[in-house]
Amino acid sequence: MRAVEPSPFLQSYRRLACSLRVCGPPLPCPRWTQHPGTSTPMATSLRTPAFPSCSSASTDTDDEGVRGTCEDASMCKRFAVSLGYWHDPYIQHFVRLSKERKAPEINRGYFARVHGVSQLIKAFLRKTECHCQIINLGAGMDTTFWRLKDEDLLPRKYFEVDFPVIVTRKLHSIKLPTLLITECVLVYMTPEQSANLLKWAASSFDTAMFINYEQVNMDDRFGQIMIENLRRRQCDLAGVQTCKSLESQKERLLSNGWETASAVDMMELYSKLPQAEVSRIESLEFLDEMELLEQLMQHYCLCWATKGGHELGLKEITY
């Protein structure tokens, strides 16, 4: 039987796949750092996590492919910023400007991602009047701290975790409202590991919110091609089975101790962006494959969950 040739649409996706940001930093060797200007000293040597870590057999070589995507994502963000998709004067200090032009689908995808996560962060900060802390898991080269500082929206404490497998005795004792952020991090954990992380977070903080950005709708043909492309790059999505749908994403949060859970795919989020901003970024460069953008956006989602904070109105936060 003659093999069926992939459609031009799927071929286009393969060309773009290598530019797409799909993870945070690698999982082993947990360490965390606090930014200067927020209270309490930097912690560097801390107790064993309260949830199971990755296998001790994991090596730097095992995670090399995953680690490389941190640089990929940072370069994609730097390129989009250079075109004017959003303002970020700090990313230039962390990553060089790529000579390779990124596709419009990638730039718009990053714009939606940065805008969506940023809006939810700011909503939480305003609800808590910044009397809170932020823990950014798998932060990579993220510049959120400095951008929040420019807008006078710094929380009392801001932590960036280099590797997501970390729990500390000190964090257990923190009682302020806490925001935890993961962007393409949980998908690289097994479902059991991500469930343990979510349970730990829900049980450790009385008043908290969890923001998660990662893949969704991965059971269809487009999702399978994404998985195949990542495997070729030695990036195995250990937690992909929890990325079947928006409902499965919400169910994971609700079944692990969170009181409310919401999720939207990035195409829906993109449609709700301020029209003036959408018109501005769409005028920056021509996009001739709108269908590809829609497919990409429909396979990523933004999820958020809350616990406690009823007097603050945390459960009212939406996008």
160 marked ligand binding residue: no
Pairing of strands 157-161, 178-183: unpaired
138 marked ligand binding residue: yes
Query: For residues 150 and 152, what is the distance between their CA atoms, to the nearest angstrom?
Result: 6
113 marked ligand binding residue: yes
Query: For residues 201 and 133, what is the distance between their CA atoms, to the nearest angstrom?
Result: 13
Dihedral angle, C-alpha 312, 145, 166, 176, nearest 10 °: -30
Tokens found for residue 196: 């343990």
Our CA angle for 252, 257, 262, nearest 5°, is 50
Cβ atoms of 299 and 222 within 8 Å: the answer is yes
Q: What is the DSSP string of 41-62?
A: PPP-S-PPPSS--S-TT--TTT
Sign of CA dihedral 17, 59, 78, 249: positive
Residue ranges of the binding site: 113, 138, 183
Annotated binding site for S-adenosyl-L-methionine: 113, 138, 183
